[in-house]
Amino acid sequence: MQPLAYRMRPKNFDDVYGQDHLVGSNGVLTKMLEKNKYLSFILYGLPGTGKTTIAMLFSEKSQLDTYFFNASTDNKSRLVDILNTTTYHNVLLVIDEIHRMKKDIQDYLLPFMENGKAVVIGMTTVNPYQSINAAIRSRCHLYEVRSLLDEDIKKALLKSVHSLEVDIKVKPEALDTIIRFSNFEIRSALNLLEAASLVLNDGDTLTSNIVRSVAGKAQLALDGGEDHFYDNLSALQKSIRGSDVDAGLHYLARLITLGDLEIIYRRLIVIAYEDIGLANPTMGQKVLAACEAAKMLGMPEARIPLANIVIDLSLSPKSNSAYTALDKAIDDFSNGHAGKIPNQALNREIKKDPSIYHYPHDDVNSLNSQRYIPDNLLSKHYYVPKEESAYEKALSERKKLIDKVKHIK
């Protein structure tokens, strides 16, 4: 017999849970079908949320000739064969893992998307704004297939109980356990329900303990190639930035469970300079030392220096004044606010007349009134100290002295 998850695959949009914004009565995909106006779109979201199901139902209802293409495994010649049929009629091209599509394949596909001969449904678990070529992205509408709520999965489970091979009862807490162990994926939840039913007979009751004994280890949303891995990285950084040490350790634990330490190292180094910054300027060196120690040790001991440094980062004073100052300067330059470099900052001009440059080391406190920023930017102030640590307070005092000598207001 076919697996329960396959048997329970929705037969129409009404059976799709949690995606009313796409396939409800006023959903955009529903309206496309009603008006026979087929636009290319990309469905993105976590595994098990219904991307493939929605694409399949859309293709069936559209009555367009549908072809399936996997960007990871299929080559350009297969795409050429498919698109050769568009000489006579339009086709619907369903592309799985569209974020992996090679450039030569994209280049061949683009004209067919442009003239509407190929309607594309792309599917990906990766954020398309970051992972999909801009040329493809600009020709598609981007629709998020949202993560499912507990109630959505419960509805699917209760409906599926009647399709099991045994007639059983299910305790409400057993449903909660299934949801927790399946990581909010309907497919995994149905698989777990089916597995648990194998140890029951007609008339038995499914309990949380039975679910746990069958489930083993909970599903972990930690696939390094998926968007939710980066969600955990982002949550780690936000926890450290927000000085929430317990949250920082929690997300570090999630990421260590995956085992890809290199990406953890890179993120911790970013945090040291982006969020700690001048409030604790030795932190960058400490993070590098901790990461080097973790590399030398390997797992499981690598977790020890990583735990130390995450605690240190979380409890450290914070300052983003350095990189925000640079971002303001970059933004000004990018928007045409530049100006001529002053003569006293140009070697070729100084060689002509050395007197125009005043050597700071010859002056008291190594300071003089000379400015080096273009004249039209003299009123700009990019760096604004955050006086939340002893070090940056000292920088602030030094800056006040400099501003006074240089007559900066």
The pTM score is 0.56
Closest CA to 52 of 100, 113, 5, 109: 5
pLDDT tens figures, 259-291 = 678 888 989 999 999 999 999 999 999 999 999
The ranges assigned to domains in the chain are 19-144, 150-215, 227-315, 321-405
CA distance 320 to 311: 19
DSSP 273: I
pLDDT value of residue 226: 45
Cα angle, residue 332 at apex, residues 327 and 334 outer, rounded to 5°? 90
CA distance 213 to 215: 6
pLDDT tens figures, 115-153 = 888 999 999 988 787 678 788 888 899 999 988 888 899
- Fold of the domain spanning 321-405: post-AAA+ oligomerization domain-like (1.10.3710)
Q: Would you tell me how many other CB atoms lie within 10 Å of the CB of residue 353?
A: 10
| pLDDT (average), residues 16-33 | 94
Parallel, antiparallel or unpaired: strands 169-170 and 141-144: unpaired
Pick the CATH number of 19-144 from 3.40.50.300, 3.30.870.10, 3.90.650.10, 3.40.50.1580: 3.40.50.300
Class of residue 239 by CB neighbours under 10 A (exposed 0-12, middle 13-18, buried 19+): buried
Higher pLDDT, 124 or 230: 124
Tally of residues, the chain: 409
Pick the CATH number of 150-215 from 1.10.8.60, 3.20.20.80, 1.10.10.10, 1.10.150.20: 1.10.8.60
pLDDT interval class at 219 (50, 70, 90): low
pLDDT surpasses 50 at 225? no
| pLDDT (average), residues 289-294 | 95
Whether the Cβ atoms of residue 385 and residue 351 lie closer than 8 Å to each other: no
Q: What is the CATH number of domain 227-315?
A: 1.20.272.10
Q: Which of 27-36, 121-130, 193-202, 210-219 has the lowest mean pLDDT?
A: 210-219
pLDDT interval class at 227 (50, 70, 90): very low
Alpha-carbon torsion (206, 209, 213, 216), positive or negative: positive
pLDDT value of residue 210: 92
